[in-house]
Amino acid sequence: MSTNSTPIEQKTKLHVQRYVQEENPAVNYLNAKSGIMSWLGTLDHKRIGVMYLISISFFFFVGGMLALLLRTELWTPAKTIIEADTYNHVFTLHGAIMIFLFLVPSIPAALGNFLLPIQLGCKDFAFPRLNLFSFYLYVFGALFSVTAILTGGLDTGWTFYTPYSITTSSSVIAMTMGVFILGFSSILTGINFIITTHKMRAPGLSWGKLPLFVWSAYATSIIQVLATPVLGITLLLLIMERVLQIGIFDPALGGDPVLYQHFFWFYSHPAVYIMIVPGFGVISEVIATFSKKTIFGYWAIALSSLAIAFMGFVVWGHHMFVSGQSPLASFFFSFITFLVGIPTGIKIFNWVSTMYRGSISLEAPMLYALGFLFLFTVGGLTGIFLGTLSVDVHLHDTYFVVAHFHYVMVGGMVMALLAGLHYWWPKMFGKMYNKTAAFVAWLVIFVGFNVTFLPQFVLGSRGMPRRYYNYIDEFQALHQISTIGAYMLGLGFGIIFVYLLISLLKGKAAPSNPWNARTLEWTISSPPTEHNFEHVPVVLHGPYDYHFPIEEFQLGVAGGHHDIDVHTEKVVTKPIETEE
Amino acid sequence: MNWFNEFNLPEAKSTYASDVDALFFFLNATSFIILIGTTITVIYFIIRYKRKSDDDVTPLITHNTQLEIAWAVIPLILVLIVFGWGFKGHLTMRNVPETAYEVKVTGFKWAWRFSYANGAVSPNELHVPAGRPIKLVMSSTDVIHSFFVPDYRMKQDVVPGRYTTAWFEAPEPGESIVFCTEYCGTSHSNMMAKVIVHEQADFDLWLASNKAPTNIQNPIEYGEKMVTDNACLTCHSLDGSALVGPSFVGLFGRDGEMADGTIVTADENYIRESILNPQAKIVKGYAPVMPTYQGAFADEQIDAIIEYLKTVK
C-alpha cells in the first residue's frame, strides 16, 4: 500500500501516551445491546466468537454422548445395548460431528474470532459481515447434518469411502451437502483471518511481534483456504455419482474407488493440521505467560507452523499404504511424513525450554497446557509408528490408529482448547472460575483420558480392527478398561461445565490482566467494550517481553486521532507520558 | 524386548513378522526415552522454577542455536533410520517370491472365499502348506474390504474392479485369524476367516479331497455345497438363530410376514427371487442388506439350492 510510494523520511511521527483501561466497565460487549436479535445479527467479532463457542460446545456434548454410547456397547464382545446397524450409525455420527462441527471450527472459529482482532489491535475483522455470513454457513451446514441424522442417519464412517458410500441406503447426500457447506464457512473464515492479519495490525505490530496465537491462526487459515475446496469438489463428485450415476469412483460404473481416497485425504490430512495448529498457538501463549518468560525460539515456533501447514499438503498418501498404492508412492509419502514430524518436535522442545529458569505458576490454563505437552507427545510419537511403512501395514485400521488420533485430537486439540478457554475465560466473560474445581476437573480428565486410550494402543497392536461392533473374547478386558476411562472423561467434562456455569452466574469479577500477560488483549477491560480499544494501540515490544515494564505495553496514539496514518514500520515515540 | 512385544503383539507366525516386531520395539524404545526425558525435564522445571512471587524476574533467553540444531538433527537422524528400515521391510512384503503358491481370494459382504488352481473352493478357511510362500490374488465383488492377518503382520485392501496381491510364508503348521479391516457395513465385524497351515503332505491331501466335483448327480448335495461355498451361512443360520438374515431352518414352505405387512409363502419362486433380487421382499425385522447373485448363479445351481433348503428342517 502506501508504504511503497511514501519515502521513509516522510513517515508519520506518532505521539504515544499510556492508556489504562477501566477494569470492569458497566457497559461492555455483552450488554451494550440487548435482545436476541442483537446477537443473531451482530457484526461484533466477540459476539460471533461466543456464538461459535456455544455451538461447538453443544456439538461436543452430542459427539461425546455418542462416544459414551459406543464405549458402552463395547463392554461385551457381542451385543450389549444396541444393534450392529445402530452402532455403525453412531460411530459415523460421532466422527462426523466431532470433526466437522467441533474440531475444525473449535479454536479458529471460537477463540480465533474473539481474539484475533484484539491481538492485532483492531476493532474487528477486515470483513465483519463476511464473518457473520461464515457463522450462518456453519449453522446451515450443521442443520443439513442434523437433517441427515433425522432422515435415516449415516453408516459410512466419517470418511465416506466409496463404493460403500455410493451403495448404502443411508442419508449420504444430506450429510455430504452439510459438510460441503461447512467447508465454505471454513474457507471464508480463513480468508478473513489472512486479510485481517496482513492489513489491520496496530502501529508497531510488525510480523516479528505478532503473538504466536496469531501466527498459528494465520497458518491454519492458509490450509483452510487451500485444502477445503478439494473436499468440496470431492463431495460434489460423490453426490453426482449417487444422483446422476456418473462413473467416477464406483467400479460398477467404470470409476475408481481408490481415487476417492486420494481426493479425500488430500483435504483430510491437511484438515488434521487445521485442527491441531491453532492449538499450538494457544499452548505458546499459555506456557509463556505462566512461565513469565520470553518464548524460547519465537521464529522457530512461528515458522514451524507454516512449515507444517505447507508440508501437510504432501503427505496424504500415508493413509493409503495398504490400498494397493505403488511402493514408490509409499516411499515418498512415508519420507515426507517423517519430515513433518521434525517441526512438530521442535515446537515441543521450544515449549519445554521456555520453562527453563522461568517463574512457573500452575494455574488451570497451565495445567491443561502441560497435559497437552504430555499427551500430544504421545500422539506425535505414535504417529511416527504409523508413518513407518512395514509397521503401518500391521497397525493400519486397528485401534492403534484410533488411540493415536485421539491422543492428537483430544489429548492435543481438546486440551489446548481447554487451556485457551481457561486462559481467556476471564477476558471473554469478565468472571473468574473456581480454581480448585478446575484442578479436580483437569485431574479427572487427564487420568480418564489415559485410562480410555492407552489400552487402545495395546488392543490395536494385538490386532483389534477399528469400527468393529463384535470382537473376539480375548480383547474384552482392555475394552472394559477403556469404557471405564470414557466415563471418567465424561465426568471431567461435566465438572468443567458446572463450574464455568457457576462462574458465569456468580463468579467474582476478573481483573483486566489476571495472569500478568503482555499481549494486547490484556491491556483492555474484562470483558472488552464493544470496540475493544478506546484508542489506537501502539506496540513497542514483543508479545512475551517480560523484561520490559508493564507500562510500556499499555500505549496508544496520543490524542485519540483514530484516523491517523498507521502505515509506519517504526513507531517514533516521545518519552512515555504516564497518565494525565 | 520379549516381554514387551509379547504383551503388545500377537505371536509372530510369518517369515517377515520378526523384522516388523524388531522395528516396532525400536520405535517403542526410542519413543519411551524421548517421552520420559521430556516429562522428567518438565516436572523438574515445575519444581525448580516454581513461582515465588508475582515480582519474579526471569532472564531473557530468546534462542540457542546449537541446542536448536541438535534437537532438529538428532530426531532427523532417528526418523531416517526408522524410515529406511520400514521401507526395506515393506519392499519385502510387496515383492512376491517367484516360487509362491497362488490362491485366489474373493471378499464379499460378509465372507471370504478362497479358490485353488484345481477348482477347490473353501469358504472362510484359507488352507495353505507350511514353509512355502503363498501369493494371494484378491478382489472384491461389492465394496472395499481389507484382508488382515495379525499373526502374519500382513494387511492388504481388497478392491472391487481390480486385483491386489499380497504374500506370506508361515514356517509352522497352525491356525491364525483373519479380520476384515475396511469398514463394509452391517456385519463388518463378523467378516472373519481362518488361515489353516498344514504340513505339505496334509495340504496335498486336503486339496485333493476338495477337488471340484466334475459331475454331481445329487442336487441336494450340490445345493448344500453351493450354500457353504458361497458362505450363505454367514447370514443365514442352520440352527434356527436369527443372524443378519432369517435362519434356513424350516424356511421352505413357511408363511412369513414381510416388512410391508404382506404374508408370503416361501416357495420356489420366492427363494429364487430372494437370491436374484433380494430387496424385493424383505422379511419383517431384517435389514435390506443382502447382495444380489444375479449373473453369479446358473439356473441349475439355484434349483439345487432350493432342493437343499427343502431338506433343512
Overall average pLDDT of the B301-310 stretch = 84
Pairing of strands B255-257, A537-538: unpaired
Domain spans of chain A? 13-544
What's the angle, vertex CA B134, arms to CA B129 and CA B137, rounded to 5? 135
**pLDDT value of position A561:** 45
Question: What total of structural domains would you count in chain B?
Answer: 3
Q: How many CB pairs under 8 A join A and B?
A: 257
Which chain A residues touch B50 with a CB distance below 8 Å? 360-361
- The model's confidence at residue A559, banded by pLDDT at 50, 70 and 90, is low
Q: A15 falls in which pLDDT band (50, 70, 90)?
A: confident
**B43 shares a domain with B117:** no
What residues contact residue A74 under an 8 Å CB cut-off, 6+ apart?
A: A80, A471, A479, A482, A483
pLDDT in tens, B41-84: 999 999 999 999 888 889 999 889 999 999 999 999 999 999 99
Nearest CA in chain B to A166: B143
In the sheet with A537-538, reading across from the earlier edge strand, the strands are A16-18, A555-557, A537-538
Beta bridge partners of B31: none
Contacts of A471 in chain B (CB under 8 A): 189
Indicate whether B134 and B161 sit together in one domain: yes
pLDDT tens-place string over residues A134-169: 999 999 999 988 888 778 788 888 888 888 888 887
What is the arithmetic mean of pLDDT over A334-349?
A: 93
Q: Return the pLDDT at B56.
A: 86
Name beta bridge partners: B129. B198
> pLDDT value at position B204?
93
State the nearest Cα–Cα gap between B97 and chain A, in angstroms. Answer: 16
Buried b (16+ CB within 10 A) or exposed e, A526-544: bbbbbebbbbbbbbbbbbb
Are B10 and B151 in contact by the 8 Å Cβ rule? The answer is yes
Regarding whether B176 and B134 lie in a shared domain, the answer is yes
**Which chain B positions have a beta carbon within 8 Å of A461's beta carbon?**
8-9, 24
Q: Do A359 and B51 count as a contact with CB atoms less than 8 A apart? A: yes
* pLDDT one-digit tens code per residue, A102-124: 999 999 999 999 999 999 999 99
In a domain, B56, yes or no: no
Q: How far is CA A61 from CA A147, A372, A489, B28, in A?
A: 18, 21, 12, 34
**Minimum CA–CA partner of A84 in chain B:** B186
- Are B163 and B197 found together in one domain? yes
Confidence tier at A475 by pLDDT (50, 70, 90): very high
Same domain, B133 and B204: yes
- B204 and B159: one domain? yes
pLDDT at B129: 96
Contact A462 B27 (CB under 8 A): no
From A141, A3, A17, A7, select the one nearest A575 (Cα to Cα). A17
Q: Cα angle vertex A76, ends A74, A78, to 5°? A: 95
Which residue of A79, A258, A322 to mutate against B (max B Cβ within 10 Å)? A322
Nearest Cα of chain B lies from the Cα of A168 at a distance, in angstroms, of: 8
User: What pLDDT shows up at residue A573?
Assistant: 45
Among A170, A389, A473, A515, which would you mutate to test the B interface (most chain B Cβ atoms within 10 Å of its Cβ)? Answer: A389
Cα–Cα distance between A404 and B17 in angstroms, integer? 22
CA gap A400, A451 in Å, rounded: 14
Q: Does B105 have pLDDT greater than 80?
A: yes
Mutation for A interface: B152, B181, B235, B279, most A CBs within 10 A: B181
Phi–psi pair at B164, nearest 5 degrees: -115, 155
Q: Which of A167, A322, A382 sits opposite B157 (nearest CB)?
A: A322
Q: Using CB atoms, which residue from B7, B60, B155 is nearest to A547?
A: B60
Domain containing residue B203: 101-209
| A370 contact partners, CB below 8 Å, separation of at least 6 | A362, B42, B46
Looking at residue B88, which CATH number applies to its domain? 1.10.287
The residues that bridge with B125 in the sheet, in sequence order, are B194
B106 and B6 in a common domain: no
pLDDT digits over A350-392, tens only? 999 999 999 999 999 999 999 999 999 999 999 999 999 999 9
Position B55 in a domain: no
Mapped to the 3 state alphabet, what secondary structure does chain B carry? CHHHHHHHCCCCCCCCHHHHHHHHHHHHHHHHHHHHHHHHHHHHHHHHCECCCCCCCCCCCCCCHHHHHHHHHHHHHHHHHHHHHHHHHHHHHHCCCCCCEEEEEEEECCEEEEECCCCCEEECEEEEECCCCEEEEEEECCCCEEEEEHHHCEEEEECECCCEEEEECCCCCEEEEEEECCCCCCCHHHCCEEEEEECHHHHHHHHHHCCCCCCCCCHHHHHHHHHHHCCHHHCCCCCCCCCCCCCCCCCCCCEEEECCCCEEECCHHHHHHHHHCCCCCCECCCCCCCCCCCCCCCHHHHHHHHHHHHHCC
Task: With beta carbons under 8 A apart, name residues in chain A contacting B57.
Answer: 547
Examine the domain organization and report whether B107 and B205 are in the same domain: yes
Residues B201 and B252 in one domain: no
d(CA B72, CA A566): 39
Question: In this structure, what is the dihedral angle of CA atoms A93, A95, A98, A104, given to the nearest 10 degrees?
Answer: -120
pLDDT for residue B226: 87
Q: Which residues of A touch B86 (CB under 8 A)?
A: 334, 387-392
* Residue of B240, B95, B234, B106 whose CA lies nearest to B168: B95
Percent share of chain A, pLDDT over 70: 94
pLDDT at A414 > cutoff 70: yes
Residue in the block written with cell 488483549: A521
Interchain pair B143, A167: CB under 8 A: yes
Residue A307 has pLDDT above 70, yes or no: yes
Q: Which CATH number do you get for residue B270? A: 1.10.760.10
The ipTM estimated for the assembled molecules is: 0.89
Q: Do A465 and B148 touch (CB under 8 A)?
A: yes
pLDDT per position as a tens digit, A214-259: 999 999 999 999 988 988 888 888 888 888 888 888 877 778 888 8
Mean pLDDT computed over B194-203: 96
Sheet holding B121-123, edge to edge: B121-123, B111-115, B101-108, B134-140, B164-168
Q: Using CA atoms, how far apart are residues B135 and B166, in angstroms rounded to an integer?
A: 6
Q: What is the mean pLDDT of residues A305-330?
A: 90
Q: Which three cell numbers stand for residue A470?
A: 463384535
Q: How far is B179 from chain A (nearest CA, A)?
A: 7
Would residue B295 count as lying in a domain?
Answer: yes
How many angstroms separate the CA atoms of A166 and A243, rounded?
9
Q: What is the H or E stretch that residue A166 is in?
A: helix A164-167
- Does the pLDDT at position A563 exceed 50? no
Angle between helices A435-461 and A476-506 (to 10 degrees): 160
> Chain A partners of B136 at a C-beta cutoff of 8 Å?
none
Residues of B in contact with A330 (CB under 8 A): 87, 90
B83: closest chain A residue by CA: A388
Q: Average pLDDT, stretch A448-467?
A: 96
3-class secondary structure, A254: coil
> A6 pLDDT exceeds 60?
no
Q: Evaluate whether A120 touches A196 at the Cβ level (below 8 Å).
A: yes
Residues of B in contact with A382 (CB under 8 A): 31
Q: Which CATH superfamily is domain A13-544 in?
A: Cytochrome c oxidase-like, subunit I domain (1.20.210.10)
Query: pTM (2 decimals)?
Result: 0.87
Cα-based angle B48, B52, B56 (whole degrees, multiple of 5): 100
Confidence of residue A12 (pLDDT cuts 50, 70, 90): low
Do B138 and B105 touch, CB atoms closer than 8 A?
yes
Give the pLDDT confidence score for residue A569 in this predicted structure. Answer: 41
Examine residue B184 and state whether it is found in any structural domain, yes or no. Answer: yes
Q: How many CB atoms lie within 10 A of CB A9?
A: 5
The two beta strands, B101-108 and B134-140, are: parallel
As a whole number of angstroms, the distance between CA A422 and CA A289 comes to 13
A393: chain B residues, CB-CB within 8 Å: 20, 90, 93, 153-155
